[in-house]
């Protein structure tokens, strides 16, 4: 709900309202999840999409993303009625691009930009947040170190700071151990479960000694890259944030550069920095506000389609006294 509402705020200056209501309004999240499952399967034989969705008039009407689509269409219409509002959101920039480059950006592309943002930036970020919360909470030593670091940050604040001030970007970045947890989470459980494809351009390419002609589909899967023992060590199958702190800073940079969580090259994720901002601020703030205990780690399941989505992450939350972390030794 948080991840969706943030995307709403960034894209349209308007939350979907999930956090306020605690409800999956109009089943928008449910439909997006279904669409990801559809994409994961049908995306393997993309021509089928033409028959199932695009060309088929009945199924076209039942498009699984329709609720998100109607929400975004409504936001575009509202924006066009009063363009002076919300001038810093992404929708305003997309509309600006349509005015500036009418030959490239038509109405369809404007809708695509907006919907891709919502679909691409919500579930992915939510998966990362769950990965962080589950893997930190179920490892006491890791959790203790993260909480100790939050406490250090709180103690370093000027005495008159309002205790409700959320953890800032700079504070989140200064938490070296938590940043190692973040990199480890991006390595251990990249949200995209499938190969990110590319098409070999004119002239072909030689990859690992094999010549591939133009038009060949090639790609990598983040899960296989990230579990490579030559890159990340013999214990690459384990969640161990310390691996990022034990190596030289040069080696850590190399390991980070090889992370494939956000893809690579020209089509790499455009929302990477927004996602890093969310993860850097949200998770420490969550652990600052609550003592978190997983109800039953055995219930945690990962189901893969286009995305590797978790279920069963139920937790007990106990509100922390904001002063407690400052007082803790």
As annotated, the binding site for heme includes 269
- Contact code string over 247-286 relative to ligand HEM, x by CB under 6 A: --------------xxxx--xxxxx--xx-----------
Residue 325 CB: number of other CB atoms within 10 A?
20
Residues 84-143 that bind ligand HEM (CB under 6 A): 116-117, 120-121, 124-125, 128
Least separation, in Å, of the C-beta of 136 and ligand HEM? 16
Compute, in degrees rounded to 10, the torsion defined by CA atoms 212, 217, 218, 219: 170
**Which residues are registered as beta bridge partners of 294?**
315
Q: Please report the beta strands in 144-265, taking only residues with DSSP state E, as ranges in sequence order.
A: 196-199, 205-207, 210-212, 217-220
Judged by beta carbon, residue 9 or residue 328, the one nearer ligand HEM is 9
Residues 163-202 that bind ligand HEM (CB under 6 A): 191-192, 196
Structure tokens at 241: 């944030």
Least separation, in Å, of the C-beta of 6 and ligand HEM? 8
What SS3 class is residue 2? helix
Least separation, in Å, of the C-beta of 189 and ligand HEM? 10
Judged by beta carbon, residue 31 or residue 187, the one nearer ligand HEM is 187
Least separation, in Å, of the C-beta of 271 and ligand HEM? 2
Tell me the C-alpha to C-alpha distance, in Å, between residue 325 and each of 162, 176, 290, 316, 329.
14, 18, 11, 19, 8
Structure tokens at 103: 């030959």
Judged by beta carbon, residue 116 or residue 217, the one nearer ligand HEM is 116
Q: What string of DSSP letters covers 271-329?
A: THHHHHHHHHHHHHHHHHHEEEEES-GGG-EEEESSBEEEE---EEEEEPPTTHHHH--
Least separation, in Å, of the C-beta of 17 and ligand HEM? 19
Judged by beta carbon, residue 271 or residue 325, the one nearer ligand HEM is 271
Least separation, in Å, of the C-beta of 116 and ligand HEM? 4
Q: Please report the beta strands in the chain, taking only residues with DSSP state E, as ranges in sequence order.
A: 196-199, 205-207, 210-212, 217-220, 290-294, 301-304, 308-311, 315-319
Judged by beta carbon, residue 259 or residue 326, the one nearer ligand HEM is 259
Residue 327 CB: number of other CB atoms within 10 A?
10
Judged by beta carbon, residue 147 or residue 223, the one nearer ligand HEM is 223
Residues touching ligand HEM, count (CB under 6 A): 22
Least separation, in Å, of the C-beta of 266 and ligand HEM? 7
Residues 3-62 that bind ligand HEM (CB under 6 A): 10
- Residues for the chain: how many in total? 329
Q: Which residues, 6 or more positions from 197, have their beta carbon under 8 angstroms from its beta carbon?
A: 217, 218, 219
Judged by beta carbon, residue 8 or residue 241, the one nearer ligand HEM is 8
Selection from 54, 90, 85, 125 nearest residue 283 by Cα: 125
Annotated binding site: 269
Which residues contact ligand HEM (rule: CB under 6 A)? 10, 116-117, 120-121, 124-125, 128, 191-192, 196, 261-264, 267-271, 274-275
């Amino acid at each position: 709900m948080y991840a969706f509402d943030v995307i709403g705020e960034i894209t349209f200056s308007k939350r979907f309202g999930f956090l306020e209501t605690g409800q999956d309004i109009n089943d928008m999240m449910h439909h997006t999840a279904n669409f990801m499952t559809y994409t994961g399967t049908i995306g393997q034989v993309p021509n089928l999409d033409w028959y199932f969705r695009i060309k088929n008039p009945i199924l076209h009407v039942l498009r699984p993303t329709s609720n998100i689509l109607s929400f975004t269409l409504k936001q575009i219409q509202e924006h066009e009625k009063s363009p002076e509002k919300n001038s810093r959101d992404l929708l305003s920039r997309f509309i600006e691009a349509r005015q500036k480059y009418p030959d490239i950006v038509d109405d369809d592309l404007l809708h695509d930009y907006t919907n891709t943002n919502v679909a691409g930036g919500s579930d992915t970020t939510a998966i990362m947040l769950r990965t962080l919360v589950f893997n930190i909470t179920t490892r006491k030593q890791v959790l203790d170190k993260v909480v100790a670091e939050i406490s250090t940050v709180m103690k370093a604040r000027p005495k008159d700071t309002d205790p409700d001030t959320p953890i800032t970007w700079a504070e989140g970045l200064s938490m070296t151990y938590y940043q190692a947890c973040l990199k480890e989470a991006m390595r251990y459980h990249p949200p995209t479960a499938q190969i990110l494809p590319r098409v070999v351009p004119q002239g072909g390419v030689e990859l690992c000694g094999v010549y591939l002609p133009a038009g060949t589909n090639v790609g990598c899967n983040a899960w296989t890259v990230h579990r490579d023992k030559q890159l990340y060590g013999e214990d690459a199958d384990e969640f161990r944030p310390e691996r990022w702190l034990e190596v030289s800073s040069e080696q850590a940079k190399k390991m980070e550069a090889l992370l494939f969580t956000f893809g690579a090259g020209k089509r790499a994720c455009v929302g990477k920095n927004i996602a890093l901002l969310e993860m850097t601020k949200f998770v420490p703030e969550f652990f600052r506000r609550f003592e978190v205990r997983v109800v039953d780690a055995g219930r945690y399941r990962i189901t893969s389609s286009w995305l590797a989505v978790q279920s069963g992450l139920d937790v007990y939350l106990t509100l922390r006294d904001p002063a407690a972390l400052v007082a803790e030794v």
